[in-house]
Chains A and B, each alone.
Chain A
Amino acid sequence: EAGVAQSPRYKIIEKRQSVAFWCNPISGHATLYWYQQILGQGPKLLIQFQNNGVVDDSQLPKDRFSAERLKGVDSTLKIQPAKLEDSAVYLCASSSFLTQETQYFGPGTRLLVL
C-alpha cells in the first residue's frame, strides 16, 4: 500500500510570494488533514477534509491560506502572500472513514520564507 505523498519536499521563497503544496492521500482514505509544524512545536491542525468537504478549518489563517480537495482525492494548500512566520514543515495526513483514529502522515514539505 502506497503511503501519503507530498510535493515538493523543500521550498524556499521570499516574503510576499505565493507557494502551493500538494498531497496525495492513501487510496480510499476519505479524510485528509493539513498540519503546520513550526520548529520546536508539535503539529497544529490547519484544515480537515471529509471527501471534498471541509470539516474543520478553525485554525487556518484564511486571509492568506487556502486549501482545496476538489475531487475528494488530492489536495493543495496555498499560501498567498507568505510571511516570515509561515516558515515551517507542512504535513499532510489521511485516514479512512471507519478508522479515523489512525492517521497516516506524509514526509512533509519544509518551507523557508526569507
Chain B
Amino acid sequence: KQEVTQIPAALSVPEGENLVLNCSFTDSAIYNLQWFRQDPGKGLTSLLLIQSSQREQTSGRLNASLDKSSGRSTLYIAASQPGDSATYLCAVFQLGANSKLTFGKGITLSVRP
C-alpha cells in the first residue's frame, strides 16, 4: 500500500528565504508526482507535475525534483513571499486496475513579512 509522508507538518519562515519542502513515498512504481497548493477553505491547485521519467520541473519561483528510486521529491520555493503562505500537498499517481492518486498530509507554510 502506497504511503506518502511530508515532514514537518508546519513551517514558518521570514520573507525572502529560499526553502525546501520534502515528500517521501514508499512504493517507487509511480506514474507521476504532483505538488498541489491549498489555501484555507479552498480546493487544490496543481503547481507542478513530474512524470516518472523526469527529474525536475520548474515554474517561476518553484522547482520540483523527483528521485523515484529513493522515493523522494522536493519542492523548492525561491525568495518566499507572504502570498506563498498555504498548505502544500504532495501526491503520487499509480496506474493499474484502479488508478489512484495518494496524498501526503501536507505542509502548512507561513511566510512572515
Contacts and interface: CB of A to CB of B under 8 A. Distances in A.
Give the contact-size bracket for chain A.
20 to 34
B75 interface: no
A105 interface: yes
Q: Is the interface of B mostly helix, strand, loop or mixed?
A: strand
Interface string B85-113: 00001010101001111011110000000
Interface residues of B, number: 24
Contacts, number: 46
A56 B42 contact: no
Nearest to B44: A105
A41 B43 contact: no
B83 interface: no
Given A101-B32, A101-B49, A101-B99, 9 more contacts: A42-B89, A42-B104, A42-B106, A43-B89, A56-B100, A91-B44, A102-B49, A105-B36, A108-B42
